[in-house]
Chain A
């Protein structure tokens, strides 16, 4: 029986980031099919896909959706927080 991957499978591109009031950019090694974030610190995370529209993720919470991006921007309003980010890349044919 041949081994086949489900159609929504992907290769994880994982990173642990530290967000501060300075806006930083995180680039994925390739385009994503899904991005998951978890704010593991104690301050609110702000993140953006285009540096124009920003979303907040409260500490202790996570966010995920099927988005095709190559980079995200992130920061805090005050203090710092830690972020676990996993971008799923398409599995090669």
Chain B
């Protein structure tokens, strides 16, 4: 079978925390659904992130060669992108959404100590992939809960 054409993604957001976020708007009549799905389904933010609180997201890293993105927040954040090379879970079963948090994330790809007073220096990140599965941890290391967060993680196929 003729697998396959050269990959090129259109939508490449793999994880996002955006708060506050824009409302979902359905596609206009007669126009394509450019987003593919409502942004609220991508957005992992469920409200402000309290001091010391960690938000975590997971995604298959295999479809991509590298990850990049941006951070903007009114509080200091500790953002870590780590990778696991576990092919099965602790019971030997294929990895599922449920078992992703139980894997061993031994490879640190990138760590950003985000400080809103140093946006130009720390408002971005980039990492190659070092494993099969990606974990992104976002910890509020500031003094107060976040009033605004924009953190996007995108995957690149090249």
Contacts and interface: CB of A to CB of B under 8 A. Distances in A.
A78 B155 contact: no
B2 A82 contact: no
A18 B42 CA distance: 13
B97 A78 contact: yes
Which of A42, A58, A60, A79 has the most chain B CB atoms closer than 10 A to its own CB? Answer: A42
Nearest to A38: B5
Contacts of A72: none
Interface in A6-50: 16, 18, 21, 40-44
A60 B62 CA distance: 13
Contacts of A40: 9-11, 36
Count class of interface residues, chain B: 20 to 34
B7 A59 contact: yes
Contact of B2 (A41, A60, A64): A64
A63 interface: yes
A79 B98 CA distance: 10
Contacts, number: 75
A78 B36 CA distance: 18
Nearest to B94: A77
A44 B62 contact: yes
Contact of A78 (B12, B13, B95): B95
Given A18-B37, A78-B97, A59 B9 contact: yes
Given A40-B36, A42-B59, A79 B10 contact: no
Contact of B11 (A41, A44, A61, A63): A41
B38 to A, nearest CB: 11
Contact of A77 (B33, B60, B157): B60
Given A42-B12, A58-B63, 18 more contacts: A40-B36, A42-B11, A42-B59, A42-B63, A42-B155, A43-B60, A43-B63, A57-B4, A60-B7, A65-B1, A65-B2, A78-B58, A78-B96, A78-B97, A80-B37, A82-B11, A82-B36, A82-B37
29 contacts: A16-B33, A16-B36, A40-B9, A40-B36, A41-B36, A42-B63, A42-B155, A44-B62, A55-B1, A57-B3, A58-B4, A58-B63, A59-B7, A60-B10, A61-B6, A62-B5, A63-B1, A63-B2, A63-B4, A64-B2, A65-B1, A65-B2, A77-B95, A78-B58, A78-B60, A78-B100, A79-B59, A82-B11, A82-B36
